[in-house]
Amino acid sequence: MTWRNPQPETAGVLSNVFASLEAYFAKAKYKEFAASVSATTTPPTMGTGGSAAGRYAIHGSTVHFYAQVVFGTGMTPGAGYYNIALPVPAKQPWDYSRVGLVTGYDASAAEHAIGFGYINPSDASSVNVFSGNVTWTDALPWVWAAGDSFDVHLVYERG
């Protein structure tokens, strides 16, 4: 197959297509937000130097979401299953649908854990995390401590 240079009229059409795409994506730029981590019994505290931050972009009815939680000195892990508030509520799922990847890091043991994020059918405003059949808690996949962190990457349909 031989490629040829586009004709001038084709270049004009392509220019219009790219301008339209650029305008579409300009409207869907990532927005920053303060991530919120809660737990079923007692929420964790971030501690000194800890943070919970995120960003998201909306493309039509699809939300691209990223959050990072880093526990600092003096943090407390709270108690119960961890939930991360979504910046835009999700469409109510029909089951515990996996909508993204979560990675955790235990700084003291230099261990990593991989889990999945799922929207709970009874609460479409937050995401839970699990590995295998175990939901992440204040003590799973390990007891969270200063220096530990987890990242949440989701793509879901907004409600």
User: Do 56 and 87 meet the contact criterion of CB atoms below 8 Å apart?
Assistant: yes
- 60 token code pair: 């039509």
Residue position matching structure tokens 């996949």: 141
Q: Please name which of 75, 74, 76, 57 lies closest in space to residue 66, comparing C-alpha atoms.
A: 57
Q: pTM of the full predicted structure?
A: 0.79
Phi, psi for residue 143 in degrees, rounded to 5: -75, 120
- 41 token code pair: 């019994």
User: Do 72 and 53 meet the contact criterion of CB atoms below 8 Å apart?
Assistant: no
- 153 token code pair: 């990457």
Residue 4 is classified by DSSP as: -
- 106 token code pair: 């235990």
Task: Please name the fold of domain 31-157.
Answer: Adenovirus Type 5 Fiber Protein (Receptor Binding Domain) (2.60.90)
**Judging by DSSP bridges, how do beta strands 98-106 and 31-34 pair with one another?**
unpaired
User: Do 99 and 155 meet the contact criterion of CB atoms below 8 Å apart?
Assistant: yes
Q: How is the chain split into domains, by residue range?
A: 31-157
User: Do 129 and 115 meet the contact criterion of CB atoms below 8 Å apart?
Assistant: yes
- List the chain pLDDT tens, one digit each, 159 residues: 444 444 455 455 556 666 665 666 566 688 999 988 999 999 999 999 999 999 999 988 999 999 999 999 999 999 998 989 999 999 887 677 778 889 999 999 999 998 888 887 778 888 888 776 678 889 989 999 999 999 999 999 998
